[in-house]
Amino acid sequence: MPGSEPLVDIFFDVLPLLIALLVAGTLIGFLAGLFGIGGGAISVPVFYQLFYVIHISDEVRMPLAVGTSLAVIIPTSLMSARAHFRRGTVDMDLLRLWAAPVIGGVLAGALVARYAEPWIFKTVFVGVAGLNAVKLLAGGEGWRIRDGLPGPGPLRIYGLITGLLSSLMGIGGGAITNLILTLHGVSIHRAVSTGAGMGVLIALPATLGYVFAGWGKPGLPMDATGYVSWLTFAATVPTTLLTTRLGVALAHRLSRRALETAFGLFLLFVSARFLWDLL
């Protein structure tokens, strides 16, 4: 039939991308539950590579990956936080204190994203993920500021920084929350669970911020609203929702050291990916 060959070619061009997105969604959901993260630490590099394959320009590729990752984090963080909350390990008092400064930091990050060069996003990602990886793999010995959290003032500053960096990295804040809480002697399981709750505070305002940050930018795909690709979102989210609970269940079965090591290796791999791109 006339025209069937081009359609077949398009199908076989798109099929690997769809498979990659389904696999990414599976991993994002599982990691969201396992590590209390929104999954951005894997979705950002996956989306970044995907947008390279479909020839999105370098000027918008990284912020588009970050913004789309933040959109995907909305449902995964909600499900992950709900599952951890049922197990009673989420610090709700801390999340209430953090709400306003975190959202302020998120909006500041979105404003920076409108004008920032792509290398800034990558550098922030490498720095935060790499530092956290080294700390976790070292077992935390000597990596403690004090036993117990500080007062409300310093905690609000932590919240502001977490919101800002998470917005620039396209993550739900779990990795940064984990680093802050464990530096103050909070157990890894409680840090992971509270990090899952942090994703709920960050994801929605950050996504709206990236819609604004990318509004009217040239070089974006037709399905995008600002720096959010909705086709990528739709192809990824279904599998994330199926696997989040599996990650939560495994997180509460692992020992403290096993969870630290797994999280550290994962973050080290991701930071190495972007470091390679910066060099």
Residues 6+ apart with CB under 8 A from 41: 31, 129, 169, 171, 175, 266, 267, 270
CA 241 to chain centre: 15
Total of domains in the chain: 1
CA 236 to chain centre: 14
pLDDT higher than 80, residue 32: no
Q: Could you report the per-residue pLDDT of 69-93, keeping only the tens digit for each?
A: 889 888 877 877 787 788 777 888 9
Confidence at 172, pLDDT banded by 50, 70, 90: confident
pLDDT higher than 60, residue 186: yes
Q: Cβ atoms within 10 A of the Cβ of 191, count?
A: 26
Highest mean pLDDT among 210-214, 235-239, 251-255, 271-275: 210-214
Residue 98, pLDDT score: 93
Q: Which domain holds residue 38?
A: 4-278
Q: What is the mean pLDDT of the chain?
A: 81
Residue 148 sits at φ, ψ, to 5 deg, of 110, 150
Q: Could you report the per-residue pLDDT of 97-119, keeping only the tens digit for each?
A: 999 999 999 989 888 888 888 78
| Distance from C-alpha of 164 to C-alpha of 59, rounded to nearest angstrom | 21
More confident residue, 260 or 216: 216
